[in-house]
């Protein structure tokens, strides 16, 4: 009997602490959005490097619908079938807000040429990136300045990198442009 009472009390304490922790996390997320992985809205978005369009999933739009939306063009050209070439994340891989990048084709074998450039990651992810995952035979470099100008701070400092779980203190939360090779 006594053990049951102790167990019940312990469970009550645990539940209370979980609720407290949840409340504290929610409060922190809305008041300190600047750290890696704590982007205020944690939006999941898609950008297409060829159409220049970006869309985000929300209450009315699934990520699948966003992919289709950015693949078309406002001039009414036929929908394409783009491929997923990279995803940047506000937190470590798979965490926080994200931006999935689509291009017209996989990256080429050469890992020194430029296959695609996403000139501006958009307001939801600007200066938020902490990590990136590559797909479609691509390697990636992230740049501080829009349109990836030479001389801009970048990661890696030269060349291109495969999937990276942290872009380093120097480039954390600074990425505006993403380039694939």
Least distance (Å) from Ca ion to the CB of residue 122?
A: 12
The reply to whether 173 sits near Ca ion by the rule CB under 5 A is no
From the list 16-24, 54-62, 81-89, 121-129, the region that binds Ca ion by CB under 5 A is 121-129
Alpha-carbon dihedral sign for residues 7, 13, 14, 15: positive
Contact with Ca ion (CB under 5 A) among 176, 178, 180, 181: 176
Q: Residue 93 gets which letter from DSSP? A: T
Contact with Ca ion (CB under 5 A) among 50, 106, 144, 173: 144
Which residues between 12 and 51 bind Ca ion (CB under 5 A)?
none
The residue (of 102 and 176) whose beta carbon lies closer to Ca ion is 176
From the list 29-37, 42-50, 129-137, 166-174, the region that binds Ca ion by CB under 5 A is 166-174
CA–CA separation, 148 and 33 (whole Å): 25
User: What 3-state class would DSSP assign to 111?
Assistant: coil
Q: Which of 129, 59, 72 shows the shortest CA–CA distance to 100?
A: 129
From the list 21-29, 60-68, 104-112, 137-145, the region that binds Ca ion by CB under 5 A is 137-145
Number of chain positions touching Ca ion (CB under 5 A): 4
Residues in CB range of 126: below 8 A, 6 or more apart: 120, 175, 176
The reply to whether 106 sits near Ca ion by the rule CB under 5 A is no
Contact with Ca ion (CB under 5 A) among 71, 174, 179, 181: 174
The reply to whether 179 sits near Ca ion by the rule CB under 5 A is no
Strand-pair partners of 133: 87
User: What is the longest distance spanned by two Cα atoms in the chain?
Assistant: 74
CA–CA separation, 111 and 139 (whole Å): 7
Q: Which residues bind Ca ion (CB under 5 A)?
A: 127, 144, 174, 176
């Amino acid at each position: 009997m006594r053990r049951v009472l102790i167990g019940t009390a312990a469970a009550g304490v645990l539940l209370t602490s979980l609720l407290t922790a949840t409340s504290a996390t929610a409060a922190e997320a809305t008041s300190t959005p600047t750290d890696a992985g704590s982007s205020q809205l944690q939006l999941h978005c898609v950008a297409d490097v060829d159409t220049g369009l970006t869309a985000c999933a929300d209450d009315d739009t699934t990520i699948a619908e966003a992919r289709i939306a950015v693949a078309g063009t406002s001039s009414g050209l036929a929908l394409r079938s783009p491929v997923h070439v990279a995803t940047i994340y506000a937190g470590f891989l798979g965490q926080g807000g994200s931006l999935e990048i689509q291009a017209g084709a996989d990256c080429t074998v050469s890992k020194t040429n430029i296959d695609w450039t996403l000139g501006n990651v958009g307001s939801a992810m600007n200066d938020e990136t902490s990590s990136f995952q590559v797909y479609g035979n691509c390697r990636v470099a992230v740049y501080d300045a829009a349109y990836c100008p030479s001389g801009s701070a970048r990661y890696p400092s030269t060349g291109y990198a495969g999937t990276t779980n942290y872009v380093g203190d120097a480039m954390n939360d600074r990425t505006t442009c993403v380039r694939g090779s």
